[in-house]
Amino acid sequence: MALNLIMLGAPGAGKGTQADRFARAKGIPKISTGDILREAVATGTPLGLQAKATMARGELVSDEIVIGIVKERLARDDAKKGFVLDGFPRTVAQAMALDGIMQGRDPLIVVDIVVAAEELVRRLGSRLVCEKCGTNVDEKNPASAGACGRCGGRLVQRADDNAETVKERLKVYERQTKPLVEYYQARPTFKSINGARTPDQVAADLNTAIATVASGARA
Q: Which of helix, strand or coil describes residue 147?
A: strand
Answer yes or no: is pLDDT of 144 > 70: no
Instruction: For residue range 174-190, list pLDDT tens digits in order.
Output: 888 889 999 999 999 99
Greater confidence (124 vs 113) lies with 113
Residue type, 147: A
pTM equals: 0.78
Instruction: For residue range 28-67, list pLDDT tens digits in order.
Output: 999 988 888 888 888 888 988 888 888 888 777 888 989 9
Is there a catalytic annotation at residue 127? yes
Residue spans of the domains in the chain: they are: 3-28+81-218
Q: Which of 21, 30, 123, 127 is catalytic?
A: 127
Q: Which of 71, 81, 90, 132 is catalytic?
A: 90
Answer yes or no: is pLDDT of 77 > 70: yes
**The domain made up of 3-28+81-218 is a member of CATH 3.40.50.300:** yes
User: What pLDDT sits at residue 137?
Assistant: 66
Separation CA 94–CA 140 (nearest Å): 35
**Residue 73 in contact with residue 79, Cβ under 8 Å?**
yes
Mean pLDDT value across the chain = 86
Is there a catalytic annotation at residue 73? no
CA distances from 40 to 25, 35, 84, 144 (A): 26, 9, 19, 37
**Which residues make Cβ contacts (< 8 Å) with residue 72, sequence separation at least 6?**
40, 45, 47
Is there a catalytic annotation at residue 175? no
Q: Which of 81, 158, 167, 197 is catalytic?
A: 158
